[in-house]
Structure 1
């Protein structure tokens, strides 16, 4: 299977993830040992998360924040990911240089 990541992000999020609230991610941190858990409800949720990171690496500005967002009890997709209400926010940061 092949996925394209274009500058318009036309495939992120996917139609499947947008259409069904079951596709989501729960991000959590184990305070005792520092482990980070990314618990995806479906492969589609994992795929869109990965595509969001690929998009950021190719066209982004150096930082990305993913966070839970709900309105009237409905979870929304932010940056290609639908995080559960009890999820930790996810921050990515990287050097944004022309040589990398």
Structure 2
């Protein structure tokens, strides 16, 4: 697995291993009673690409990103660099478009 990352807004990143191998996936489960969220990553590569996607969004994004399960022909697809299992919760990330702001 890769251990260094270069970010560029000129190049769209896509990890061919994660794209082609469905074992690289994440299940997101919400326990509303305990107020917990569990990220169950099937591989380090899946976690790495999720982190990369969030960093790219923080550096070059527009103020929001959504991660959601997407299935076509019974195959779980990659959305925004992340493959979420069919039974995963959706993730919505909102942040300021520019500058520093408190939440």
Settle same-fold status: TM greater than 0.5.
Answer: yes
Report the equivalent of 1:6: 8
The one-character-per-residue Cα deviations of 1:16-36 (angstroms, maximum 9, x if unpaired) are 101100000000101211101
Structure 2: how far apart are the matches of 1:65 and 1:8?
Answer: 21
Structure 1: how far apart are the matches of 2:48 and 2:11?
Answer: 14
SS state at 2:93 partner? strand
Report the equivalent of 1:47: 48
Q: TM-score if structure 2 supplies the norm length?
A: 0.89
Cα distance change, pair 9–32 in 1 and its aligned pair in 2 (3 A): farther
Deviant stretches of 4+, over 3 Å: none
Give the drift of 1:95: 1.2
Question: Structure 1: 5+ residue runs without aligned partners?
Answer: none
Give the drift of 1:10: 3.1
Report the equivalent of 2:63: 62
Q: TM-score if structure 1 supplies the norm length?
A: 0.92
